Homo-oligomer: A and B are copies of this chain.
Amino acid sequence: MKKTHAETNGAGAIGVFDSGVGGLTVFREIARALPREPLLYLGDSARVPYGTKSPATIVRYSLEAARHLMDRGVKMMVVACNTATAAALPQLQALLPIPVIGVVEPGARAAVRQTSGVVGVIATEGTVRSKAYTHAIRLLDANIEVIESAAPLFVPLAEEGWANTHVAREVAEIYLEPLIDAGIDTLVLGCTHYPILRGTIEQVVGGAVHIVDSAETTAETVKAALGKSTGTSNPARRFLVTDAEERFRRIAGEFLEQEIEHLELVSLG
């Protein structure tokens, strides 16, 4: 198939894939850690959210996204969505000829470094059902107790800009009190949307609980996997969405605190 100019625009970039805007928390940390690397973000906004969908559907959507990023020539793929990582990372790693990095293992590693024994994980229904964090943490240290709990309303609260409202605070109390009562000393934000509510979550759990946001540790993992960065100054930062580009432009612009210059609507599947 002949490639158009637009389709070649990701050549040599690190591809960052998410179901919508949540992966921008990871994108931001990668951009900070690797200021000379071109980045290509793909948000599947036509099918967001993934968290309530079945593993088979999430695998299908993730493979379609991977195919699109491969066609654009990315040299590495970051699955910046916990639900997609939990459901599809092994398949993606087996099928793609480039390094594929998920967000669960970096988050698990950071949790193991910080905990003194009891880790809480909040995530989507899909991620919790997969027990991906429990498996990843206990593979590193079988003595750690892991309590996973779904917090599905955090995603629409973040998407709708309600992160710092009294409603978000009340929802956070309902989701987090059972974890606090269970004695967690570390809390993993196991969905890339949740760092948007970090302030509210910190208020509820208090200063004694370590918060793990896998965005930072994922960026460290990407940097380590990349080895020597061969980028340029002022590298391209491009964004692809499958729907509603103006909505994405607004949310991403506010979140990244910069104007979104290169934004393109694409079709997957």
Question: What residues make up the interface of A, taking CB atoms closer than 8 Å to B?
Answer: 45-48, 52-54, 57, 152-153, 155-157, 159-160, 162, 166-167, 170-171, 174, 242-244, 247, 269
Contacts and interface: CB of A to CB of B under 8 A. Distances in A.
A57 B174 CA distance: 35
Given A47-B46, A152-B160, A160-B153, A57 B243 contact: yes
A159 B153 CA distance: 10
6 contacts: A52-B159, A52-B247, A153-B160, A153-B162, A166-B170, A167-B170
A48 B156 CA distance: 13
Nearest to A48: B52
A53 B57 contact: no
A187 B156 CA distance: 24
Contacts of A52: 48, 159, 244, 247
Nearest to A150: B160
Nearest to A174: B167
